[in-house]
Amino acid sequence: MTETVYELFIILHLLLFVYWLGGDLGVYYSSNFVINPKLSNETRLNAAKIMLGLDLVPRICMTLMLTVGATLAEIVGLEHPTWELVGLWLLAPFWMTVVLVIHFKEGTPLSKKLAKFDYYFRWFMVAVILASIAQSVATGRLAGANWLNVKITIFAGLIFCGIMIRRHLPAFITGLHKMAAGDTMSDADNATMATGLHGARPWVWLIWAGVFTEALLGVFKPGNTFPLAF
């Protein structure tokens, strides 16, 4: 592939990092208003709409990141078996479609079924990525480019962090539904919402650290001895 194609994919890869972190920061900031009991339910619900809308951005970025990264690796000479590359190219449109349907059909039976599927699919992705890394290390497939092994392992960690975030959010979401129904929020309800959100935040911080570390690894490629094409 030409250097121009490489540069286009580099730009896309960097944009995914930027929008992932930027979207997450917006979600994090707006969530403070959602759990603020001093605000009216209407204000808190509006903040929740902003929060959930912004949350779609990092979700999309995550579904595209592995495919774009694998394509970049292929361009610079870190080749994949044909079957693996085809699977990676199919992954992005498939996973992104699932995420988009879950978001825009929220509350429907289809969305609920896909959300459950997506939860287990993420566990599957973590297992597949870690198995791939183990095979790569055992065979020396990426000898000279161990930074890429580390980068992909971190990506599996990011997916895992997202799963852990989901495990803390049911209480927060229950509170949102109660507000949306027009019910009065008790102190206990507000405390439960805040507890659920605060339980998720350490995993959010780990995602930020992981995304930032991945970006550094991609830029500096520490210890690289592989003859990269670009």
DSSP state at residue 226 = S
Whether 201 maps to a domain, the answer reads yes
Whether 136 maps to a domain, the answer reads yes
State how far the alpha carbon of 42 is from the alpha carbons of 37, 171, 189, 194, in Å: 11, 19, 16, 18
- For the record, the structure tokens of 209 come out as 């650290």
**% of the chain with per-residue pLDDT over 70:** 100
Identify which of 226, 227, 173 has the alpha carbon closest to the alpha carbon of residue 199. 173
Helix (H, G, I), strand (E, B) or coil at 106: coil
Q: What integer pLDDT is reported at residue 1 of this predicted model?
A: 60
What is the average per-residue pLDDT within 95-116? 97
Whether 228 maps to a domain, the answer reads no
Q: What integer pLDDT is reported at residue 2 of this predicted model?
A: 79
Whether 186 maps to a domain, the answer reads yes
Whether 83 maps to a domain, the answer reads yes
What is the average per-residue pLDDT within 77-89? 94
Q: Mind giving me the DSSP string for 131-176?
A: HHHHHHHHHTTTTT-HHHHHHHHHHHHHHHHHHHHHHH-HHHHHHH
Whether 125 maps to a domain, the answer reads yes
Whether 230 maps to a domain, the answer reads no
What is the average per-residue pLDDT within 119-135? 98
Whether 226 maps to a domain, the answer reads no
Domain that holds residue 145: 3-220
Give the count of beta carbons closer than 10 Å to the beta carbon of residue 221.
17
Q: Tens digits of per-residue pLDDT, 26-40?
A: 999 999 999 999 999
**Domains of the chain: total:** 1
Residue type, 180: A
Question: pTM score > 0.85 for this model?
Answer: yes
d(C-alpha 42, C-alpha 50), whole Å = 13
Q: Tens digits of per-residue pLDDT, 149-198?
A: 999 999 999 999 999 999 999 999 999 999 999 989 999 999 999 999 99
> Are the C-beta atoms of 149 and 102 separated by less than 8 Å?
no
Helices (H) and strands (E) in the chain, counts: 7, 0
